[in-house]
Each structure stands twice: as C-alpha cells, then as structure tokens.
Structure 1
C-alpha cells in the first residue's frame, strides 16, 4: 500500500496557488511543492493540520491510501 497526497488536486479545485497556500499556512513553498508532486518523505502533523484549516477539509481529503499494482 502507498500513501498518496492529493494536495495538488485540492489546490486546483479551490483555484489556489502553492504560493498562496504557503503564505496562509506558513509552510515553506518548496515543501508544499514536494507534497503536490508526492515527493515528500515526511509530513509533520502540524503542517497537515494547517493545510486542513486553510483548505477547510479533513485529513482524509488530502491523504489517500492506495494499493500498489501487483505484477
């Protein structure tokens, strides 16, 4: 199983830029960019809480657990 961050989709839905999310949450823009590209290795809980607050959503709206394809 793999955790996928669907932050990029949420930003597109809300017509919000990564820069704006960074400004409103206080999270560095490169960190948000990594989350949007699913390249982040660590996601501090306080960052996740700040994102949920700004986007007015739940954690499950951002983090998705997906099955990895079997060969």
Structure 2
C-alpha cells in the first residue's frame, strides 16, 4: 500500500527551526506540528500545506514524498 511521508522534521532541522517556534510562526498547535514531524497525521489540509511551503520557502514536492510498495 502506498503512503505519503511528510518531511517537515528534516526540513525544520536543516533550517534550525524548532517545532514550537514553527507552530508559533504558522499559528498551528504545537501538537499538530509534532504529529506532522512524526508522520502521525491522517490528513493535511491543502491550505495548511500551502502555508508550510510559503513560510519555509519550499515546494510541495520538498514537503511530501510518495512511497510505493
């Protein structure tokens, strides 16, 4: 079964931004950012994905990766 990896944790670490700081910047609950970093979310609203990409100056393909089995 295919699944999508959210690569937010690696991106934040590479940019030196803590989960808590990014939650504040994006006005998102800290627990939600942690769940995204740990790939525990079941859905990611498009507006939230767009906000993340905009704030980090990345493309959607930098944030998400499709894994095929």
TM over 0.5: yes
Q: How does 1:46-65 map to 2 (within 5 A)?
A: 46-65=47-66
For structure 1, the 5+ residue unaligned runs are none
After superposition, the CA RMSD in angstroms is 0.8
C-alpha displacement of 1:43? 0.7
TM (norm. structure 2) is 0.92
Instruction: Give CA-to-partner distance per residue, 1:12-65, whole Å, 9 cap, x none.
Output: 100100111111111111111000000001111111111111100011101000
Corresponding residue for residue 31 of structure 1: 32
For structure 2, the 5+ residue unaligned runs are none
TM (norm. structure 1) is 0.90
Matched residues, number? 68
C-alpha displacement of 1:66? 1.0
Structure number with larger C-alpha Rg: 1
